[in-house]
Structure 1
């Protein structure tokens, strides 16, 4: 386990150091697209404008996020893994995180959940959706608020909850 943590930290440093002395405004912007508001806007727009799949997409998304958020909070507050910017003394993150703990990445979980729903209902947009979700995850490391394993765990959580919500509906 110690070796895995060392590799995770080494990969974190390698990715985070790519932002040294750089303008991170576009990374912050991209990360902000994963804050959550966009998901509701997409769902409501599809519900309103696309009567064939839109309502079921919205209902699946609402169910999925109703499942994902409590599980995410339970995991995060049970595992209590400190964020890199709180754990590594000399590290200054590019943003102020919303809470103290990092595992799993909520932004990544939500982004992969949304990407999975988009891929299910609108397969022609699959590649775009998954590339965007992956970029959300990478931005969280670039900004200094998550380790790579937090991103991996978040992606698994989002994909798993999406699958469950689609099976229920």
Structure 2
């Protein structure tokens, strides 16, 4: 898998050009990744692409655990996937405004572990990273042990997006900050829907909402 050739002309027409921020660090990481053993490269690529499935599993576990908790906790557990979806949508919109090209599109990245996205698939902030950090912050409100596990997933996921060659480090850092802040605030607010869950627990959804 080879990254597309640098396109300096493209970058000049875009809103953000991240090469001057940490392009050098990105290239060092990329060149180091090229020298990793092939099985390690495949493992990193697979985790980076499909690690979000683990976040979904943690969401299901949080819902299951919340069945034995108070209604506010269940409200927060039910809100986690909605919060993550909303943060992802907002992040996608922000990417289109900032319009930063992928580093593998504008730098001499050589062979990247993941195929470089096409032009117009913007880089800043990282969608994968914002999703996992928003999920970790949201799950912290449901049960701290699950939130900690999600955080232990989020950190390597963010790092992997640089390692596979499709993001600058600052793409990941901004996504982590935004995802954490939004996920924490939105899920905290979702606890106010506890009375709605309490009524639902007395109705036809009792088996889904109560242990």
TM-score by length of structure 1 reads: 0.82
Alignment of 1:63-102 (within 5 A): 63-97=82-116, 100-102=121-123
Q: Does 1:113 align with 2:130?
A: no
Displacement after TM superposition at 1:165 (Å): 1.2
Distance 1:47 1:12 in 2: 38
Distance 1:115 1:71 in 2: 17
List gaps (5 residues or longer) in structure 2. 1-17, 191-211
Distance 1:168 1:5 in 2: 38
The corresponding residue for 2:197 is none
- Tell me how many residue pairs correspond in the alignment: 166
Distance 1:83 1:166 in 2: 31
Cα 1:92–1:152, aligned 2, differ >3 Å: closer, same or farther?
Answer: same
Displacement after TM superposition at 1:76 (Å): 0.6
Displacement after TM superposition at 1:33 (Å): 3.5
Q: Does 1:28 align with 2:42?
A: no
Distance 1:15 1:90 in 2: 10
Displacement after TM superposition at 1:166 (Å): 1.9
Q: Does 1:58 align with 2:74?
A: no
Displacement after TM superposition at 1:62 (Å): 2.7
The corresponding residue for 2:171 is 150
The corresponding residue for 1:14 is 28
Q: CA RMSD in A?
A: 2.5
List gaps (5 residues or longer) in structure 1. none
TM-score by length of structure 2 reads: 0.68
Displacement after TM superposition at 1:30 (Å): 1.7
Greater radius of gyration (CA): 2
